Structure formats: structure tokens, C-alpha cells
Amino acid sequence: MWHVLLTAPLSAIGYRLSAIDGHGPAFAAMCNQIGEPLGLPPVRAMKRRGKDKDLPSCAQWPIYVRHPLYYLGAYVLGQANDDQAEQGNPLAALLDQILTHIDAGRIPQARAELARIRRMA
């Protein structure tokens, strides 16, 4: 469903569909644009390289950037169809987001992210 919602606007403004079919930079950028106001950590394009290589892939966004308890057991990480090695570490991504807030002086956002994680634990 996310692919339909995210790729339609990109197609409408001239992105070639092939550029976003494979979870490329345009798709990752759209996920990050939507995710930032929601307090979700950033994701990378499917290819694991460059400065963002340690971020989770956008392929299963937002599942891999949310706390595992967010879905209340409806989705379990590590199921047979998951590729954990390719997806990155969701906890590390959450911690990186908090550190990014702290480094940028956005202490209220860091505290809010920690509180959100604590409520889900």
C-alpha cells in the first residue's frame, strides 16, 4: 500500500517509475520526508552504500523503523520472508535518530522519542 501512496506523487511530478520501483533514492527520500514529522528515524535506499549504509532499508518502511511492539504482535520481525541482514538494525536506527536530535540541539525531540519508545516497551 505504501508503494502506491508514495509512488503516485513521484510519478505525477515526472520521476520515472523505474527510479523508484527498486526502493531507490527518490522512494527513500519520500519515506524520510513523511517519517521525520512522525518522529521515525531515517531510512536509506535499498543499496547499502555511502554515508547512509547503516540505516535500515526503505524496502519495508515503516515496519523496520518502528519499535517491535508498535504492531502489537500483528507483525513479527524475523519471519521467514524477512531479510534481516539487508534491513539493518531497527534499534540502532532509533538510537541514531535520538543522537541526531541531541547533536542538533533538539533536546525536546530526543526526549519525546525516548518517551515514545518507553511507552511501547
Residue 48, φ and ψ in degrees, nearest 5: -90, 95
21, three cell numbers: 520501483
Amino acid at 118: R
Q: What is the largest CA-CA distance in the chain?
A: 42
pLDDT for residue 2: 58
Taking the model in full, what pTM does it have?
0.51
**What is the spatial distance between Cα 90 and Cα 48, in angstroms, rounded to a whole number?**
15
Count of domains observed in the chain: 1
Q: Give the model's confidence band at 116: pLDDT under 50 very low, under 70 low, under 90 confident, else very high.
A: confident
pLDDT for residue 85: 44
Using DSSP's 3-state secondary structure scheme, residue 45 falls into coil
- The range of the structural domain enclosing residue 68 comes to 2-120
Q: Is the pLDDT of residue 14 over 70?
A: no
Report whether 2 contacts 66 (CB < 8 A): no
Average pLDDT rounded to a whole number, residues 22-45: 86
**What is the spatial distance between Cα 26 and Cα 48, in angstroms, rounded to a whole number?**
15
Residue of 35 and 94 predicted with greater confidence: 35
pLDDT for residue 17: 54
| Helical packing angle, 25-35 and 2-12, nearest 10° | 110
- Residues in contact with 33: Cβ distance below 8 Å, sequence separation at least 6, in sequence order: none
pLDDT for residue 23: 74
Residue of 12 and 101 predicted with greater confidence: 101
Q: Give me the chain's average pLDDT, please.
A: 74
pLDDT tens-digit series, residues 48-89: 777 888 888 888 788 878 877 777 767 666 654 444 444 556
**What is the spatial distance between Cα 109 and Cα 24, in angstroms, rounded to a whole number?**
28
**What is the spatial distance between Cα 49 and Cα 98, in angstroms, rounded to a whole number?**
22
